[in-house]
Amino acid sequence: MLIDSHAHIQGKEYDKEVEAVIERARGVGVEKIIAVGGAGDMSSNTDAIALADSFHAVYATVGMHPHDAKDVGIEELETLRGLTTHPKVVAVGETGLDYYYNHSSHELQEQVFSSFIHMACETGLPIVVHERDAAEKAAELLRQEGNGKLCGVIHCFTGNYQAARAYLDLGFYLSFTGIITFKNAEPLRAVVRQIPLDRILVETDAPYLAPVPYRGKENESSYLIHIAQKVADLHAMSIEQVAEITTANSKRIFGI
């Protein structure tokens, strides 16, 4: 059995078929899906919670993507803090830093990220981190603002081993997507080989980043088996072993 540790199946892409998506996932052994809030606007959080309320297999997270840090103020933070008390909310996020697109200024991203780090510490929830081209600053904020009280996941990790090591030293897990199946991703596959399996999660980031052989198509949680198989190949293990370990990791970090 597998857990899709990061998906956006509450999005409009799945409006008319979310039940079918969940059933197809279950049919190939994906037993649970974490519907991650914060992508686009505040409604992605309430939609994730509504989905988790409707389906036993679905859990939710609440936060705001760094792209939208410019839209996060005291009111939004208070609203999200209230949502963390929902019994099926298992993490704060996604949040973090994205210095590649710069849809919000670096200063604003860092301020909002720090606020979510504090929220995770105060609630005792793990944090789901989006980081692109900002590994050094992200690790610095997690270390300084988390003050040793923080655990979480670096989702869709695509960095080098030096960045991976910094996150691992902070006690974080690294989550990998369909990118590891892409032809040009050998440097990332080399990193996966070096990461201990007890610190790895697998995710689809659906509807994005569909793995080979579905690259370029809309992603969904049933495709997680291709990502898990690639991790298994890289660690010279069976997919059943990888499923057992990564599922235990997801249950441990998210408390499910």
Look at the block and give the residue holding tokens 């979480």: 152
128's enclosing H/E stretch is strand 127-132
Q: What pLDDT is stored for residue 39 in this prediction?
A: 85
Q: Cα angle at 229 between 220 and 251, to 5 degrees?
A: 70
User: Per residue in 174-210, pLDDT tens?
Assistant: 999 999 999 999 999 999 999 999 999 999 999 999 9
Which residues lie across from 129 on neighbouring strands? 95, 154
Q: What pLDDT is stored for residue 4 in this prediction?
A: 98
Task: Name the residue ranges covered by the structural domains of the chain.
Answer: 2-254
Q: What is the DSSP string of 170-224?
A: TT-EEEE-GGGGSTT-HHHHHHHHHS-GGGEEE---TTS-PPTTSTTSPP-GGGH
Q: What is the DSSP string of 13-48?
A: GGTTTHHHHHHHHHHTTEEEEEEE--SSSTHHHHHH
Nearest residue to 21 via CA among 47, 239, 13: 13
Q: Across residues 103-112, what is the average pLDDT?
A: 96
Mean pLDDT across the chain, nearest whole number?
97
Phi and psi angles of residue 117, each rounded to the nearest 5 degrees, phi first: -60, -45
Nearest residue to 98 via CA among 64, 132, 72: 132
Q: Across residues 144-160, what is the average pLDDT?
A: 96
Which residues lie across from 216 on neighbouring strands? none
Q: Is residue 244 within 8 Å of 44, Cβ to Cβ?
A: no
Q: What pLDDT is stored for residue 136 in this prediction?
A: 97
Q: What pLDDT is stored for residue 141 in this prediction?
A: 98
123's enclosing H/E stretch is helix 106-123
Q: What pLDDT is stored for residue 106 in this prediction?
A: 97
Q: So what's the architecture of 2-254 in CATH?
A: Alpha-Beta Barrel (3.20)
Question: Over pLDDT 90: what percentage of the chain?
Answer: 94
User: Per residue in 2-59, pLDDT tens?
Assistant: 999 999 999 898 988 999 999 999 999 999 999 999 887 899 999 999 999 999 999 9
Q: Across residues 92-109, what is the average pLDDT?
A: 95
Look at the block and give the residue holding tokens 């686009």: 40
Q: What pLDDT is stored for residue 40 in this prediction?
A: 77
Q: What's the token pair of residue 61?
A: 């997270």
| pLDDT bracket for residue 102 (50, 70, 90) | confident
